[in-house]
Amino acid sequence: MIIGFRAKGGSISGTGNFVNCSRAAVVKVYRAWQYGTIQNQRRGTCGAPRAIDDRGEQRLWRCIRANRRATDRPDEPRGYQECILNNGSANVAAHGPPQQMPG
């Protein structure tokens, strides 16, 4: 009776008074029906579409891994990595890595 009364638009207090139980019980029973039964588990597919789909997410992770590999190499001097990040790879290709000043 709780589910039918609530599904027809009855308020929580009105439903509790109608079936003679507490408002907390009405909420608990209605939520259990709403999210717990097999036929209503399809509710997870409604709502706004995801901003990025599964394929796009895989491509993003692939790009992140490649970027980490490119910038986390210990054999390259730190200045070379900073130059790539600050100036772009075209400048490095044209002039080579920055030279260390003798010191």
Spell out the domain ranges in the chain: 2-35, 54-93
Residue 7 has pLDDT above 60, yes or no: yes
Residue 14 has pLDDT above 60, yes or no: yes
Any alpha helices (H) in 20-76, and if so which ranges? 23-36, 54-71
> What pLDDT is recorded for position 34?
77
> What pLDDT is recorded for position 56?
78
pLDDT top residue among 49 and 15 = 15
pLDDT digits 0-9 by tens, 47-97 = 556 666 777 778 888 877 777 766 666 565 555 556 556 655 555 555 555
* Eight-class DSSP state of 50: P
Given the structure tokens 């070379």, which residue do they identify? 80
> What pLDDT is recorded for position 96?
59
Q: How far is CA 41 from CA 18, 30, 33, 98, in A?
A: 28, 14, 10, 59
